[in-house]
Amino acid sequence: MATYVILSKMSLGAISDPKEFKQLAATVTQKIRTECPGLEWKSSYATMGQYDVVDIVQSDDPIQVEKAAMIIRACGHSTTETLVATPWHEFIKAL
């Protein structure tokens, strides 16, 4: 199963109060769980850098990951960047 990192940045004006983010995140999470059954959510992190949220997911189907990223964009009012992540030991072994 491949691992992906989805980096998300909230659009300006997406929410008017930070407390609204909790409901927005719940809505996006539920939509992804319903519409992307081939996606396994590993972890999520709030960050204080270029991106607001970092999600780590796994899937054998890259279309599921693409769909999840589009849901984050559309419903989460965010821009996203998705990266394939290779475990370090696998990367070194392949060299």
Cross-strand partners of 70: none
Rounded to an integer, what distance in angstroms lies between the CA atom of residue 65 and that of residue 70? 9
Q: Which secondary structure element, helix H or strand E, spans residue 19, and what is its range?
A: none
pTM equals 0.91
Percent of the chain with pLDDT strictly greater than 70: 100
Q: What is the CATH number of the domain that holds 10?
A: 3.30.70.1060
Cα maximum dimension of the chain: 48
Parent domain of 74: 2-94
Q: How confident is the model at residue 73 (pLDDT cuts 50, 70, 90)?
A: very high
For the chain, how many structural domains are there in total? Answer: 1
